[in-house]
Amino acid sequence: MARPATPWASSGSRPRGGFRLARDPDSITLLDVVLAIEGNESLFRCTEIRQCGKIAELHTGGNDAAACAVKRAMYRADLAWREALATQKLSDVRRELD
């Protein structure tokens, strides 16, 4: 999946560093910011060798439903976190700070 457009222009030569927004803060979600910085990969990475990669395909027969309960729970939490960030605009955060 391609990375979304960056919500800011360049850092330029600002006196104290930072970034200048390329769009109106009301059109930038917190998820946009996270995706621009971190990319679209899940924050959780399963390290259980029997549940990851080629070994998992052999172990589970390619059946994602056979993934461990911890992995499924963590992916649900990641999805909920992303959905919550998608509902919050940068302008909302600014209003809370003012």
% the chain with pLDDT above 90: 28
Flag whether pLDDT at 1 surpasses 70.
no
- For residues 32-46, give the mean pLDDT: 85
Residue with tokens 């309960």: 69
Split at pLDDT 50, 70, 90, the class of 78 is very high
Rounded Cα–Cα distance for residues 30 and 89 (Å)? 6
Split at pLDDT 50, 70, 90, the class of 20 is confident
